[in-house]
Amino acid sequence: MSIRERLSGNEAIATAMRQINPDVFAMFPITPSTEIPQYFAQYVADGKVDTEFICVESEHSSLSACLGAEAAGCRAVTATSSAGLSFMNEVLYVAASARMPIVLAVSCRALTGPININHDYSDSMAERDSGFIQLYAENNQEVYDNYLMAHRIAEHPSVRLPLMVCEDGFITSHAIENIELEEDEAVKAFVGEYKPEHYLLKAENPLAVGPYGISSYYMEARVAQARAMINARQVILDVAADFEKTFGRSYGFFEAYRMEDAELAMVLMGSSAGTAKAAVDGLREQGIRAGLIKLRVFRPFPAEELAEALKGCRAVAVMDKSEGFSAAGGPLFAETCGACINLETRPKLIDIVYGLGGRDFTVDAARSVYQRLETIVRTGETGPVYSHMGQRE
């Protein structure tokens, strides 16, 4: 039976970690993820977990410690944000290529410079091609639920890839919301014990971890890793189906909100979706066929499913909460365009970069995006494909 509670996103993640009771938590603090190890340290002190809690000297070291723990056969976790995630960059790629299913909680925050501690996705998007699975959440309930599913996905024998559970820094990491928690024993039963097939301390099956990949083998290893990410697509859906059966809450690659007959649509991620849904509801009351796609899974990217959801639209705005510095749009726009490229009839697509460094995104701002899409449909003119919204001129 679900337990009604009020928690921040950070405490929701720490609670899920406590319920799962990982073998190793290697930590180094950075705003706004610091509360996660802070809460967990209290669980350790109170004897609520028997996790090996390791305080290290940097984020690079925290992920390195998790890498070593996973290689030894342990379930390992950590948390970070912003420059901390960037400092992990080298080890992110090592963890993914070594097929270590570490679960990394990321309270997404802007990258320097100038220095900023507020939310956007510049940190997680900078690591989108590191080989980590990436899940994003609109609210604290989704943060908690994504974390409960994370180990099942990452540790699946056909996947064995590390995974980022991403939340919006301060917006969901620190804001307190009503949430449904599950009972500890039910969580333990759902997640299960970690039973790796191969690990360094398994004496009867010696192996090397992270060997030098000579030219004769490097590509084969990379292809195997790429196939694991493809396999993760079905595993994500299977785990979500079991989660719904067990706890009653439904998840997919994305949420299609009022998309049944939508002509105008927005594609976005995270907490902005709640604001955009209010705009969609208002426009629907005026007879305007608006809808939105809130992406939950960015890696693996659900290209076929997203294209299917958008194919009936006439104009689509992709909302990027990170600047790609490509001079042609942000990362979510590039992926969405790639998904739609082979559609027989494609909607007109534009990219809007917004919300950088915590800049507000309001219902009126969302409504203005749909007004622009209406103009595109009416005139047939797309106008600037790549633009910014909300900045002072």
Per DSSP, the residues of 92-153 read HHHHHHTT---EEEEEE-PPSSS---S--SHHHHHTTTSS-EEEE-SSHHHHHHHHHHHHHH
Q: What is the pLDDT of residues 253-278, one digit of tens each?
A: 999 999 999 999 999 999 999 999 99
Provide the pLDDT for residue 210: 84
Spatial distance between the Cα atoms of 211 and 289, rounded to a whole number of angstroms? 55
Q: Spell out the domains of the chain, with CATH numbers in brackets.
A: 3-247 (3.40.50.970), 254-389 (3.40.50.920)
Helix 215-247 vs helix 184-191: crossing angle, to nearest 10: 140
Per DSSP, the residues of 297-325 read EEES--HHHHHHHHTT-SEEEEEESS---
Query: pTM above 0.95?
Result: yes
Residues lower than pLDDT 70 in the chain: none
Q: What is the pLDDT of residues 162-203, one digit of tens each?
A: 999 999 999 999 999 999 999 999 999 999 999 999 999 888
Provide the pLDDT for residue 313: 98
Asked whether the beta carbons of 177 and 139 are under 8 A apart, the reply is yes
Asked whether the beta carbons of 70 and 143 are under 8 A apart, the reply is no
Provide the pLDDT for residue 201: 87
